[in-house]
Amino acid sequence: MNSDIPSLQPESLPRHIAIIMDGNGRWARKRSLNRIRGHREGAESVRDIVRACREMGIEVLTLYAFSTENWQRPRHEISALMSLLKGFLRSELAEMMENGIRLNAIGQTERFPADVVKVLQEVMDMTRKNPGMLLNLALSYGGRDEIVAAARKIAAEVVAGRLQAEEITEAVFSSYLYTQGMPEPDLLIRTSGEMRISNFLLWQIAYTEIYVTSTLWPDFRRGELIHIVHEYQKRERRFGVTGDQIKKARRRE
């Protein structure tokens, strides 16, 4: 373990970190390289950040790797991203097993090519019982799509008479999302400076702390992540109540 991690307060670590990994194309352009090279270097950041989160003791790490809108990119870029994903899954399996990491995918993964789906399924099956960090990859993921899919499943339950409309609460609705059973993200990081959500985890980020860094994803490594977690630990999460109420509740603990 690196010496930078113990400086964090263990009692206020985020349980779930979600990251919009953006800026691979700009990283490559700055170096007059093609975009694919940016994605390749971005995969190195993924390795580093997964490792750092595990060492920190994060329970869930969700990485936005491919959005429903990303299908509109040039075909050769999409296929390069697919083979990078396949390569990543293959090369990381041993380390995931060694470190107890469980892999999960959220999104319409069935839209992916059969060979990628196969590797993804294999890695998910092999890591299913791992007790450590959950690595959640958002693949062909869209927040609106997820909400519509949940509404459809709920409607079918109501039509079948298994659920009453009045029984649909926020908790019930959440249980129909891809992230069912996971804590909501405490911290959302977006790299490359864009101040937008780009259809990521729309329901789940209602009270998530947001941090945007101008660093491009291929340059984003553990040192900056730890700095951001430090910044997160300085924030007061109020969830709609007053700062005084929070202090009073803390004194009672």
Kindly list the catalytic residues. Answer: 22, 70
Q: Give the relative orientation of helices 114-127 and 75-98 as an angle to the nearest 10 degrees.
A: 20
| Residue from the set 26, 37, 40, 221 that interacts with ligand IPE by CB under 6 A | 26
Size of the residue set binding Mg ion (CB under 5 A) = 1
- Residue whose tokens read 């729309």: 202
Give the tokens for residue 197: 């959500």
Residue 67 binding target from Mg ion, ligand IPE, none, CB below 5 to 8 Å by type:
ligand IPE
Q: Per CB under 6 A, does 21 bind ligand IPE?
A: yes
Residue 112 binding target from Mg ion, ligand IPE, none, CB below 5 to 8 Å by type:
none
Which part of the chain contacts ligand IPE (CB under 6 A), choosing from 8-16, 59-67, 104-112, 144-152?
A: 59-67
Rounded to a whole number of angstroms, the minimum distance from the CB of residue 22 to Mg ion is 4
Q: Per CB under 6 A, does 37 bind ligand IPE?
A: no
* 12 vs 79 by CB, closer to Mg ion: 79
| Residue from the set 17, 20, 150, 154 that interacts with ligand IPE by CB under 6 A | 20
Give every strand in the sheet of 102-106, ordered side by side. Answer: 102-106, 134-141, 60-67, 16-20, 187-190, 209-212
CA–CA distance, 52 with 227 (Å, rounded to integer): 12
* φ/ψ bin of 240: left (φ > 0), alpha (ψ from -120 to 50), beta (otherwise): left
Residues 109, 101 contacting (CB under 8 angstroms) = no
Rounded to a whole number of angstroms, the minimum distance from the CB of residue 189 to ligand IPE is 11
